[in-house]
Each structure stands twice: as C-alpha cells, then as structure tokens.
Amino acid sequence: MKRLLLLILTTFPLLLVGQTLHSYVESLVENEVGAAVLVIKNDKILLEEGFGINHLEEKKAISSKSNFRVASVSKQFTAMAILKLIDDGKLSQEDTLEKLIEECPDYAKDITLRELIHHTSGLPDYGVSIKNDFPTPLQDDNVLQLLYGWEKLDFKNGTSWEYSNTAYVLLGLIVEKISGQPFHSYVQKEILDPLGMNNSCFYVRGKNKVTNRVYGHSSSEEGWELTDQSTYSALLGDGGLYTSISELKIWLQNFENNKLLSPKNKKTPFEDLYKLDEPNKNYGYGIYVENFEGHKRYRHNGLTMGFRASAHIYPDDNIIVVVLVNTGADAPMIADKIARHLFEK
C-alpha cells in the first residue's frame, strides 16, 4: 500500500503537467497550418503530438511521425558526419581547405575544418552572392563555385565569429569527398539508420523520398499559401534534413551519450567550443551551448521558406523541447514559453 501511495504521489504531478501542457501548447499553435511538439521531462514524455494539417489540399493530420524540413537544425547532423570521419581516422580538425578542396583559392587555403564547424572561417554567406543567372534550386556544387569566384574572406579566419551557411555546405561536400559516398547516403547509413531514425533523410529529389511529408506555407493577404521550396531548398549540409519529433526524440535523448562516436571523441561537441561575445554563450558542432534564464541549454533553431524549427535540451533540468511548424511562426519563442511553463512546475 505504501508503495502504491508513493507511486501515485510521484506520478501525479507529471500527469497534471501533461494535462495542462496539452491545452497550453494547443493555444500557442492553434493559428498555424500545422505543428508538432515534443516535451520530455525527467525522461518521461509529457507531450508528443501533432496539430493541424500537412498541406492545404492534402489535409492529412500531422502526427508525431510527420516529417518536417528542419533547416539549420540539420547542422548538428552534418557536424556529426565530420566527427565520424575524424573518429575513423580519415580527417583531422586541423585539415585545411587546401587539402580538402581541389584548386582551392589562395585566400581560403588555410581555413581548417574546426573553423568551418565553429563559424570562424570568414567565408561569406552564399545568400549575399546569388545572382539571377544562378540555377534554381541552388545545388551544393553551385556554392563551391562561389568559393572560386570570391577574392577574400569577410575576416581573417580564426579571428572572429560569423554564422556561415556556406561553411556547412562545404562540410557536406567534404563528407562526400572523404567518404566516397553522396552526403545523403553517408548520413543515412552512418548516423540516421544506426540510431533508428529510418524515416528521416537529407532529401535529394530523385534519389530518396520523404515519407509522411509536411509541406511549408506562408501567410498572405488572402490567407495561407503553399511555399514549400525556395532557391536554397536543395542544399544539404546547412539545412536539408527532413525529420519528425518521434525521431528527433531519439537523437536528442542520446545527445550527450552518443553511441556513434568512440569514447575519445564523445565529449568533443561539448568541450571544443568557440566562446561568443555574449556572456555564457558558445558554439560548436551545430549547437549553441548557452544560458537561458539561469538554465544551461543546448540549442539550435531552423528557418527556411515555409518552415521553422527549434530543438532545445536543458541538461541540468532533464528537459527536452522540440517545436516544428510548417509556417513562419516563431518556433523558438513557442519553445521558450513551453520551457518557462515547465520551470514553474
């Protein structure tokens, strides 16, 4: 009897949080075309649910298995692919572009892998250099061509920090060159499938398929309209992953104890960090390590046409919050509100 009473007393607060959490989250996303939200506390799933629909015409209900384009949340998977190749002895963090890119321009020759990973390479972001004569959608090789067309870095590599999508596209191309496999195939075989993320993929039209696909939307004066693809939607290393909250759950729950790396490299993403100018904020391997209102947080957000994504871990609080939307809604703000809701409990 005492054991039963103890079980009820320890479980009831979590049930109560879960009951109120559903209605709270529903109120945050009720005006969107669709969303999926994952909330875990103390290893217990408080919410793992879809809201709304995947497409204005298909009108399939979004579930926990619906696959969204998560944009820059993809970067941590690209960084893991690099770490896997380092772990296998095929790369070093100090390898330079002179070694890794054929006919590398002089201005970029001494940029290292670590500098690409940490956004300290000084490479301009490709978005500022796209001209009307570029093919649409842009492919990874087109970004490489930009590298050959530029004449200088935005700053001396290793001396400052500036977020660079270009760097992560190049990291994807480096994975292809060193592994001898297409980037999407390597990540699928070496990262996603071994973790059980079999329905996630870096999407390449004609090469693989997004199951349970969610499509992107934007608001207009007439209401919602389908805006699923942009000039940059075919780029891979910086933002090409489609995944669901049910499979991101696997990734995030194994984040600190990643089974993909050997013990000597397992802690690298949390120890090899670049300290940013903001207090208690660092970056490395596709993740911000920071302080949010007194709580340590691992975080990355994603933004692309028709989608926004947030994946947040609070390791000391044992909390995970993921918000995926198929609109331009402020997923990071929603994720922050959910976290505050949990901190108060």
Q: What is the pLDDT of residues 69-97, one digit of tens each?
A: 999 999 999 999 999 999 999 999 999 99
Residue of 72, 120, 77 lying closest to 300 (CA atoms): 72
Ranges 4-18, 157-171, 301-315: which has the least confidence: 4-18
Dihedral (Cα; 184, 70, 145, 121), 10-degree rounding: -110
207: tokens are: 């090469």
Give the fold, CATH level 3, of 17-343.
Beta-lactamase (3.40.710)
Amino acid at site 25: V
What percent of the chain has a predicted confidence (pLDDT) above 70?
Answer: 93
46: tokens are: 């408080």
102: tokens are: 């054929």
Confidence band of 14 (pLDDT split at 50, 70, 90): very low
pLDDT of 128: 84
Mean pLDDT of the chain: 92
Residue of 338, 344, 331, 303 lying closest to 35 (CA atoms): 331
pLDDT of 50: 98
Ranges 13-27, 38-52, 57-71, 206-220: which has the least confidence: 13-27
Instruction: Please check the confidence at residue 27 and state whether its pLDDT lies above 70.
Output: yes
pLDDT of 344: 83
Q: Interhelix angle for 331-343 vs 2-29, to 10°?
A: 150
Mean pLDDT in residue range 150-174: 97
Q: pLDDT (tens digit, 9 = 90+) per residue, 172-200?
A: 999 999 999 999 999 999 999 999 999 99
Instruction: Please check the confidence at residue 7 and state whether its pLDDT lies above 60.
Output: no
Instruction: Please check the confidence at residue 12 and state whether its pLDDT lies above 60.
Output: no
pLDDT of 132: 60
pLDDT of 133: 62
Instruction: Please check the confidence at residue 206 and state whether its pLDDT lies above 90.
Output: yes
pLDDT of 222: 84
Residue of 157, 151, 81, 179 lying closest to 112 (CA atoms): 157
Instruction: Please check the confidence at residue 309 and state whether its pLDDT lies above 70.
Output: yes
Instruction: Please check the confidence at residue 270 and state whether its pLDDT lies above 60.
Output: yes
Decide: pTM greater than 0.75: yes
Domain ranges in the chain? 17-343
134: tokens are: 């570029």
Exposure of 62 in the CB half-sphere (CA atoms within 13 A)? 32
Instruction: Please check the confidence at residue 15 and state whether its pLDDT lies above 50.
Output: no
Instruction: Please check the confidence at residue 49 and state whether its pLDDT lies above 90.
Output: yes
